[in-house]
Structure 1
Amino acid sequence: MTSSPHPDPDPEPRDTSGLEPGGGVPPGETPPSEGGMSGTGPAHNPPKGWSKGPLALILGLAVLIAAFFLVYALVLLL
């Protein structure tokens, strides 16, 4: 048998440490399961979407800039 440079991804169960006969794992061999997300703190539900104030400010600024360039183009044409 030739030696492979890659380890076998599916080793022989007889040669694997920590396994009981039949392939089970004894208690204490694996870490305990996690409790999930139950202890992360109070729930924070941020509002959905943009609030009306910043959105109105951005739209107003965009209209003001568009009006400036429209007036500038009209002045250049005349």
Structure 2
Amino acid sequence: MTSSPHPDPDPDPQPRDTRGRESDGSSPPGETPPAEGGMSGAGPAHDPPKGWAKGPLALILGLAVLIAAFFLVYALVLLL
């Protein structure tokens, strides 16, 4: 068994013993708080397409034209 050159100090230090911390756990004025960890910049860039796809747009417009034609024919039948 080999010993490490730098023995690990207390693995669970008390907040009052931790350098750079106030007794309530906050950072003192002028002390930089620890950086946040995160994965915000990880992974490939994703550039989603903008606007409507031609298929759904054509389907919606076609349905609107059919409904308008139905009501136009219905109005002509009522007038005659």
TM-score, normalized by the shorter chain, greater than 0.5: yes
CA shift at 1:34, angstroms? Answer: 4.5
Structure 2 counterpart of 1:74, which letter?
A: L
Partner residue, 1:59: 61
Partner residue, 2:30: 24
CA shift at 1:33, angstroms? Answer: 4.0
Give the % identical residues.
71
Partner residue, 1:75: 77
CA shift at 1:36, angstroms? Answer: 7.1
How high is the TM-score relative to the length of structure 1?
0.56
How high is the TM-score relative to the length of structure 2?
0.55
Deviations 1:22-73 (A, max 9, x none): x422x6xx2324567321x222212110111111111011000000000001
Structure 2 counterpart of 1:72, which letter?
A: Y
Q: How many residues are treated as equivalent by the alignment?
A: 56
